[in-house]
Amino acid sequence: MPYWKTHFRIKRSRFNWVTWSNDMTRAPQDNQLEVCESEHLQRDDTVHTALQRQLTPLLTVYRIIPQRAIRMIGPWCFLDHFGPVAPANYRQFNVAPHPHIGLQTITWLLSGQLLHQDSLGYEQPLRSGQLNLMTAGRGISHAEVADHDPDQPLHGLQLWCALPPEYEQTEPRFDHYQQVPKFSLGDCTATLIVGTYVATQGGHQKRLTSPALSFSPATALLLQTPQATAIELALEREFEYGLYVVSGTMTALSKKVRTHELLSIGANRTRLTAELSADCTVLLLGGEAFEQPVKIWWNFVSASEQRVRQAQQDWDNHHERFGRVANYRAAK
């Protein structure tokens, strides 16, 4: 029997709640080995449409990367956009413990409430504007559930950052950040989730740095504006970049990019002018090209296919490397 048939399960009640032991936005069709690699400084301006997946009747997920046409942006090997889901429909949201290796997971909520639990003993609520960052390293397991009685729609982004080969076996850890840098970029509010950004403020340049732990040169910057505006973004020449439109419409490099679309702009740029519609939210992702392809299978990421396969065997055999999420309570 295929692995997912024994490990992926959906239960429904009058709340249409869901329990599954895959990662928060991974579906049964993700049960295949994928090879992801950077564009290696390719300069382009291509629009990619996210792949829509109906994880449950009430939870829609938009997979931006990886997909056939674009596998990675720098070290970023995974980006999903989930929701929004009304509070009544995720009050018993329950993602059972599942494993990871070789990556960092970044969970960012635009609205809603979740609770992180892991095999290191952490139990951390997450709200909009806060950052949960888990470094899997050689192995960790965690669960995600609805926290208390949510009163906002569940809407957010989940990103994976591949660890460089020399850090794949690092000790697992979990970090929570109550806040990350925010600043004005024209009429936009810019939130620096990961990495650094050189902002011009009062005619002077200032390098801002997120406190988020990072193992590779990379940036994740969220842009939000209530009104139509034009902005100029400062870019690192060595970084590959992509801009994902969470909501609204963006025009850049003569391309119109709509909600659930990503504009890949490659590297070798230091500036980019973008026009944003009213009520627009855009995620800028960038990073140095990853030196070698990574393999992704289920929730495992590694430059070594053997490590991926070994992790799968270890999880099936309840190996101690993944620990136990002691505080997790299965949904009834």
Question: Is 148 annotated as ligand-binding?
Answer: no
Strand, coil or helix: what is 242?
strand
Residue 299 vs residues 177, 185, 209, 229: alpha-carbon distances, Å: 23, 35, 28, 39
- Closest alpha carbon to 248 in 237, 257, 235, 236: 257
Give the position of tokens 């690192």. 236
Question: Is 39 annotated as ligand-binding?
Answer: no
Question: Is 81 annotated as ligand-binding?
Answer: no
Question: Is 319 annotated as ligand-binding?
Answer: no
Q: Please count the helices (runs of H) and the strands (runs of E) in the chain.
A: 2, 28
Structure tokens, 286 = 């960038």
Residue 67 vs residues 31, 72, 103, 218, 283: alpha-carbon distances, Å: 14, 9, 18, 20, 18
Contact 18, 10 (CB under 8 A): yes
- In a 13 Å sphere around the CA of 314, the CA atoms on its Cβ side amount to 20
Annotated binding site: 98, 100, 142, 144
Annotated binding site for Fe cation: 98, 100, 142, 144
